[in-house]
Structure 1
Amino acid sequence: MKRMISLLALLAGTATAAPLTLNLSLLDGDKPFFYHNALTLPGGQSVNVQDVRLYVSNVALIKADGTGVPVPGLTLAKLEKGTPPQNVEIFKGEAPEGEYRGVRFDVGLPREVNHRDATTARSPLSIEDGMYWAWNSGYIFFSVRGKTSVNGAEKDVVFHVGGDNHRLTVNLADLQKPGTALKVTPSGASVPVTLNLAGLFVRGVNGEAWDLIQPKYQQVHMGAVSDQLAFNAQSVFGK
């Protein structure tokens, strides 16, 4: 009997799991972004965005003491033209009920996942998901595709970020502010996240403008321009 009482007490002290979702809304600067409006770059040029994709992994809820409570799961978020780019579910998992200061997650994949054999992987890591660099043995972590006009001609533009050194940790937990920013109830919680697309192009390599007339800024995969894109991405997520 004593052993049963101890077991019940232990179970009673364990927080039950509840559904947790991250819901993403795209921005153009401080305004909501919609596909029927061209994205305006800081230099005045524009991009007709067609497709935004990103891997979300290593999700954790942040407690008052700054420690993280992992929320297992890995997803590939796809925000495509023809679907509303506001309040889109990009991650769904289960988290312990309780009060938290916020959430933290990675845009990208853990190293051990990034270098798996994609030919045998299932979605969202399969080759059919369109986020694998066969020539570079790794995944594209973050992708924006669209069209722009260069000297009167329409050009396809592709902006990719990948590579182990470009995995981005997004921290949406402010430990300096008093009070609780996030509460997971028995019915769960939905966490709003924003992504400012214009902020991706705030500057080019060595501080120059992100100039879509230059081919290096039209097709971005690796190298210095991709490094700069990854750096710019550190400031584009919010809540």
Structure 2
Amino acid sequence: MRHFFSLLALSAFASAAAAPLTLTLSLTDGGEQFFHHHPLMVNGQALSVQDVRFYVSGVALVRADGSEVPVAGLSLAELNKGTPPRHIEIFKGDAPTGEYRGLRFDVGVPRELNHRDATTAEAPLSIDDGMYWAWNSGYIFFSLHGNVGGTKVAHHIGGDSRRITVDLADLQKPGTALTVGAAGLTVPLNLDLQKLYAQGAGGEAWDFRKPAYQQVHFGPVADQFFLNASRAFSRAAERADPSVGRPVMPRDGH
């Protein structure tokens, strides 16, 4: 993962100490852990996933009253066969300490950055990062590459209207609270790859044998892929800490 931190002043933190807020991601296949050496079975077809990449921006912690505390930064999450598909750091920024009900973030690039000149931008918005559509004057927000029976597939989401907002703040459930302490907080997330292919255009089954489902960039299949992706992220389950009898967030590698 590479970071691009905005030049916003941190004056919002003046009344509270800042601590690191880290988001990690694990890939799943339905309710099970995903492994790169196992194919993703979609409608009876075996999809070998090569890489998953997406931008994380607009991160905000949500207070109990529903107001948001922005956490500045933009990062490019990269998950491929060279990285374990569990607890990969996808974002890190500074947040004020305190109690929160949850968090929200966007998958994509803010409009004010989406149409800048990628040839002069720094990572992770550089043209060398391979996430820019020169023909479409904008960035690819989310991409998955792989192959099915030797046929290469590329599934992309992009465009200002397709920035995904992931809302993980439920004001009706006290158990969803987050505490940013002096040492910071790591929030584990899941991306269910199976949900990306929940259905194809018009509600039909996703079929990699059809060209429309192999190279997906725009049109009705891309519209459905966007809707599928917007439902594929979730907050990972917490594990119990037997020493104190309350849930704690799992850390990388555990």
Same fold (TM over 0.5): yes
| Deviation (angstroms), 1:112 | 1.0
Deviations 1:143-196, CA, capped at 9 Å, x for gaps: 0001111xxxx1111100000010000011110012562100000000111100
- Which residue number in structure 2 is paired with residue 218 of structure 1? 214
Question: Structure 2 stretches of 5 or more lacking a match?
Answer: 1-13, 236-254
Structure 1 vs Structure 2: percent identity of aligned residues?
62
- Among 167, 170, 173, the alignment partner of 1:174 is 170
Kept in 2, the 8 Å contact 1:106–1:168? The answer is: yes
Which protein has the larger Cα radius of gyration, Structure 1 or Structure 2?
1
TM-align CA RMSD: 1.0
> Moved runs in structure 1, 4+ residues, more than 6 A?
none
**How far apart, in 1, do the equivalents of 2:222 and 2:114 lie?**
18
Match of 2:81 in 1: 81
For each residue in 1:23-57, what CA deviation from the matched residue of structure 2 results, as whole angstroms up to 9, or x when unmatched? 0000111111110110111x121211010000000
User: Which residue of 1 is the match for residue 111 of structure 2?
Assistant: 111
Specify the alignment match of 1:25 in structure 2: 26
Question: SS at 2:228's partner residue?
Answer: helix
Q: Counterpart of 2:26 in structure 1: which amino acid? A: S
What SS does structure 1 have at the residue aligned with 2:66? coil
1:84 counterpart letter in structure 2: P
TM-score under structure 1 normalisation? 0.91
What CA distance in whole angstroms lies between the structure 1 residues aligned with 2:219 and 2:116? 23
Letter in structure 1 aligned against 2:24: N
1:65-89: per-residue Cα shift (whole Å, max 9, x none)?
0111000000001011121010000
CA distance in 2, matches of 1:172, 1:137: 31
The within-5 A match list for 1:58-137 is 58-137=58-137
Provide the rounded CA distance (Å) in 2 between the counterparts of 1:236 and 1:24.
Answer: 12
1:225 aligned counterpart, secondary structure = helix
Instruction: Give me the whole-angstrom Cα distance separating, in 1, the residues matched to 2:207 and 2:134.
Output: 28
In structure 2, what is the Cα distance between the partners aligned to 1:180 and 1:35? 30
Please name the residue that 2:155 is paired with: 159
Q: Give aligned pairs, total.
A: 222
Letter aligned with residue 119 of structure 2: T
TM-score (norm. length: structure 2): 0.86
AA of the residue aligned to 2:155: F
Hey, what does 1:35 align to over in structure 2?
36
**CA distance in 2: counterparts of 1:71 and 1:171, whole angstroms:** 15
Of 180, 190, 195, the residue aligned with 2:186 is 190
